[in-house]
Structure 1
Amino acid sequence: MKKHYVLVLLMILTLVGCNTKSISLTGESDSWSGEYTANINRDKENGKFIFGYKNATGKELKNLEITINDGKRVLKEENYKGAIIEMPSSCSGCAVTNETLPIKVKIKWDEKEDTFDLKSDK
C-alpha cells in the first residue's frame, strides 16, 4: 500500500514540474548586448535581464537609463560603475512573457542612445 502512495506522489511531482518553462531571449546593438532568461509556471514568472556594455574601459557610465518595453520596466543610475547590469524581474498572477514576441530595449548613457530587441533563438 505504501508503494502505491509513493508512486502517486512521484507522478504528481513529475506533472507539477512539467508546467515550468524556461525561456531565453537575446539581442544586441553596436554598444550593448542583452539577455533575458526566465522560468515561467502558469501565471508566475521569475527572470533576469543582463546587459553588457561592449566598449567598457573601466570608467563610470553617466546617466544610465534602461527602458524595457516602452517603460514597463526602467532602471536609472546617475553614475554606474561596471560593464554588466543585472535587473531581476518577477511577477505572480501576471501576464507572463510571450517568447515569440520581441522585448524592446532602449539604453541611454553618456549622452548616447541605443535601441534593440531581445528575441528568442527558436
Structure 2
Amino acid sequence: MMLQRVSIWAIMLLFVAACQNQDTLHFSNEGDNWEVDYTVNIYDENSQSIDYAIRYIGEESLPETLNYSIGSTTVTGEILSEGGVIEHSGSGCSGCAVTREDDDIEFSIEWDDEHEESFVLE
C-alpha cells in the first residue's frame, strides 16, 4: 500500500516537472475585419504544438467561405462558426525548428472571393 502511494506521487511529480519545462509564446494582432490569437507550446528545442483563434470583427455580415494562411499553415474553403470564429488546436511538429519569441507570424485571409486582409502577429 505504501509503495503504491510512493509510486503515484513519483508519477505526479514527473508529470509536473515535465509540464514546467514547456514554454508558451503568445502572438496576436487585429486588422479592420479580423482578430487573431496564436499560441505556441514549446516542449523542447525541436518540438512544439500550435493553437489559434481567428475572429471576424468586421461590420458586414459573416463571410461564407475563407482561405487563410497563418504561419506555415494554409487552409482553403474554411467555414466560420455562427459566432464568426475559427478555432484550431493541437497541430505541431517534432524534429522541427520551433517558433521563437522574436519571430513574426504572418497572417493573410481572403473571404467571399472579393476581400483580402494581411498583417503580422507580434
Considering the TM-score relative to the shorter chain, is it more than 0.5?
Answer: yes
> In 2, are the aligned partners of 1:106 and 1:116 still within 8 Å (CA)?
yes
Is residue 118 from structure 1 mapped to residue 89 from structure 2 by the alignment?
Answer: no
Which residues of structure 1 form unaligned runs of 5+? none
Deviations 1:48-80 (A, max 9, x none): 121001026664423x111124xx211111654
Aligned to 2:85: 84
Provide the rounded CA distance (Å) in 1 between the counterparts of 2:101 and 2:54.
Answer: 18
Tell me how many residue pairs correspond in the alignment. 116
Q: What fraction of aligned residue pairs are identical, expressed as a percent?
A: 28
Distance verdict in 2 for CA 1:54–1:87, change over 3 Å: same
Given the two structures, how large is their TM-score scaled by the length of structure 1?
0.74
CA deviation after TM superposition for structure 1 residue 47, in Å: 1.8
Distance verdict in 2 for CA 1:32–1:58, change over 3 Å: same
Aligned to 1:53: 56
Is residue 97 from structure 1 mapped to residue 96 from structure 2 by the alignment?
Answer: no
Which structure shows the bigger proportion of residues in strand conformation?
Answer: 1
Given the two structures, how large is their TM-score scaled by the length of structure 2?
0.74
Deviations 1:12-42 (A, max 9, x none): 6665443210111001111100011121111
Is residue 30 from structure 1 mapped to residue 37 from structure 2 by the alignment?
Answer: no
Provide the rounded CA distance (Å) in 2 between the counterparts of 1:59 and 1:114.
Answer: 15
Aligned to 1:66: 68
Distance verdict in 2 for CA 1:9–1:55, change over 3 Å: closer
Distance verdict in 2 for CA 1:55–1:94, change over 3 Å: same
Provide the rounded CA distance (Å) in 1 between the counterparts of 2:18 and 2:74.
Answer: 33
